[in-house]
Chain A
Amino acid sequence: MQTKRTVFHSRILPYFLLAPQLIITLIFFVWPAAQAIRQSFLRQDPFGLKETFVWFANYTRLLDDPDYLNALGATFVFSVGVTLLSMSLSLMFAVAVNRVLRSGRFYTTLLVWPYAVAPAAAGLLWWFMFNPSVGIIPYFLSFLGYEWNHRLHTGDAMVLIIIAAAWKQISYNFLFFVAGLQSVPQSLSEAAAIDGAGPFKRFWTVIFPLLSPTTFFLAVINITYAMFDTFGIVDATTSGGPSQSTNILVYKVYADGFIGLNLGPSAAQSVILMLIVIALTVVQFRWIERKVQY
């Protein structure tokens, strides 16, 4: 790993400099993670007096549990929904901003700030918009003959949290798509125009393929976001309901561990989540390595 060609010589100073970061990491990250892994192989008796080593029993029980499989399915639908919705809207806005010259900055300012809104607040904003009795969207939907009720209809609840989560992520995707579009050379677009390709054809055959590194990177980031940073949205709105339809994995691990106090199975869920984050991080960093080689 890289350092400077010449370095300072000191035997203890670097350890002092690293100490605060390392101590916090070890106490609040590594040690709890190790505890979760250990706990996931143990089972407590009902009184919490004795722990027995049960190998993978917590994991196998989890994978046989219809509630857990349901949470896996909900997480999948939710992450794919958020990623597709948010990325397609952002790409559309980014392409549009890239076309307008003078007013681009103005539109950008108006589009980027939802990044700063807390997930819980974003959830409440849409919870209000979709509220069956006072919300504006159910009011219009009722003209189309649809009775919106996210407290009763499982599909409605899922759509609600997907929209809230995607809304918050638009600004992030937008900024990265704009950066990606600006790095596509204008000359390629002009060459295609001379060959007779219209704007839409140019976009799909020239620009979009050249954006694929950005698109891939954003897809990974969005899936990570949808899986791990949306706890506040679910907690502030549906709390996993109705009938567990929006009980995504991060919410379930909290509900089982903190409210249900099911230590072993909750720890096993934590470990599975850790494996998912590790996989996503590895994919993300491999992509960055490839980008550097260009």
Chain B
Amino acid sequence: MVENRPFLTFLTHLILIFGVLTVVFPVYLAFVASTRGATDFMTGIVPLLPGDQLSANYGYLLGSGESTAGAPPFMLMLANSLLMAILIAIGKIAISIISAFAIVYFRFPLRVLAFWVIFMTLMLPVEVRILPTYKVVADLGMLNSYSGLVIPVIASATATFLFRQFFLTVPEEMMEAARVDGAGPMKFFRDILLPLSRTNIAALFIIMFIYGWNQYLWPMLITTEPHYYTVVMGIKRLASVLDGDTQWNLVMAGVILAGLPPVLVIIFMQRLFVKGLVETEK
């Protein structure tokens, strides 16, 4: 702040409060709706204060789900989402860190080609190759399976670049010292590079966890058995079936359940999250 202007400071806070309201209000309203009974929406005016149906609505969704809408219990879908998000995050980090290690610490024929092949994944999001990718997964018999949910999406150019960038900043002397002491490449990787990459791995894990959790199109395509549904695609089923008289209390409870885990991750690990977000875009 260059000079003290009370009016400007007031305006600043006003803008920020407006910002926070913009961001929070839709979620507040969703929460209110999720604590109400189904009949509370008949009057035509949306209630602004929480009701008393919180445990009834959430208990119903978590325990039994909405079978008429083809949505299994949310407990199951939340577990599926958690498993998928963790496996995707671990998978992306694991295969990317070893490819970055190979690219930075070895010289071998076709090295540059390998780098460009990995780079190409950036240019081919699922959305632009839906049908043929679906066909490949179907031919491999991976429809309706956890491997089908996870494996096709764990190639990651961003993670590989991040680790490559980081490895290039690791002092040369580290490796030379390790070699003098007789450490082979894998020992060097395990005992020196991995511990050094700890913060990067954690930051990346958060970004990739959120990415995995929020997968939508891919699970929707390859899962037809409710047993494998994930929560983000589940809430859409809840909303779309009864569009005439949507049960807003249940739909909004579903939205809150689907959004809560990744939001909590960001709020409690804000520093790592910001680091991960900024680093992956370099």
Contact = CB atoms under 8 A, between A and B. Distances in A.
B243 to A, nearest CB: 9
A124 B239 contact: yes
A11 B110 CA distance: 12
A24 B137 CA distance: 12
Given A17-B98, A28-B155, A111-B20, A5 B172 contact: yes
A152 interface: no
Nearest to A191: B2
Interface string B247-261: 010011001001100
A109 B137 CA distance: 40
B114 interface: yes
B13 interface: yes
Interface string B13-55: 1011001101110110110010000000100111000000000
Interface stretch (A59-67, A68-76, A274-282): A274-282
Interface in B157-199: 160, 168, 172, 175-176, 179, 184-186, 188
A199 B5 contact: yes
Contact of B117 (A5, A26, A175): A26
Interface in A84-110: 89, 92-93, 96-97, 99-101, 103, 107-110
Interface stretch (B57-65, B72-80, B125-133): B125-133
Contacts of A7: 105-107
A266 interface: yes
Contacts of B107: 3, 7
Given A26-B117, A254-B130, A119 B270 contact: no
Contacts, number: 315
Contacts of B242: none
Nearest to B267: A113
A39 B132 contact: yes
Interface string B203-231: 00000001001101100110000000000
A144 interface: no
B136 A115 contact: no
A281 B130 contact: no
A20 B185 contact: no
Contacts of B151: 24, 28
B131 A278 contact: no
Given A14-B102, A17-B98, A124-B255, A1 B130 contact: no
A133 B246 CA distance: 11
Given A36-B131, A116-B265, A274-B123, A96 B104 contact: no
A236 interface: yes
A179 B115 CA distance: 30
Contact of A110 (B9, B24, B121, B252): B24
B95 A24 contact: yes
Interface stretch (A46-54, A153-161, A227-235): A227-235
Interface residues of B, number: 107
Contact of B258 (A22, A118, A167): A118
Contacts of A31: 132, 136
Interface in B258-282: 258-259, 262-263, 265-267, 270, 273-274, 277-278, 281-282
A128 B155 contact: no
A48 to B, nearest CB: 13
A135 to B, nearest CB: 7
A93 B44 contact: no
A170 interface: yes
A259 B131 CA distance: 11
A100 B13 contact: yes
Given A116-B265, A175-B274, A128 B115 contact: no
Given A13-B185, A118-B259, A134-B248, A128 B131 contact: no
A184 interface: no
A4 B248 contact: no
B255 to A, nearest CB: 5
B155 A24 contact: yes
A252 B267 CA distance: 35
Given A139-B45, A274-B123, A117 B95 contact: no
6 contacts: A4-B104, A110-B24, A128-B248, A231-B127, A263-B131, A277-B123
Which 5 A-B pairs have CB atoms at the shortest separation, nearest pair first? A32-B132, A116-B262, A35-B132, A17-B102, A118-B214
Interface of B: 1-3, 5, 8-9, 12-13, 15-16, 19-20, 22-24, 26-27, 29-30, 33, 41, 44-46, 94-96, 98-99, 101-108, 111-112, 114-115, 117-118, 120-125, 127-137, 151-156, 160, 168, 172, 175-176, 179, 184-186, 188, 210, 213-214, 216-217, 220-221, 232-233, 235-236, 239-240, 248, 251-252, 255, 258-259, 262-263, 265-267, 270, 273-274, 277-278, 281-282
Interface of A: 1-8, 10-11, 13-15, 17-18, 20-22, 24-33, 35-36, 39, 89, 92-93, 96-97, 99-101, 103, 107-121, 124-129, 131, 133-136, 139, 167, 170-172, 175-176, 179, 186, 189-190, 193, 199, 202, 217, 221, 228, 231-232, 235-236, 250, 253-254, 257-258, 263, 266-267, 270, 273-274, 277-278, 281, 288
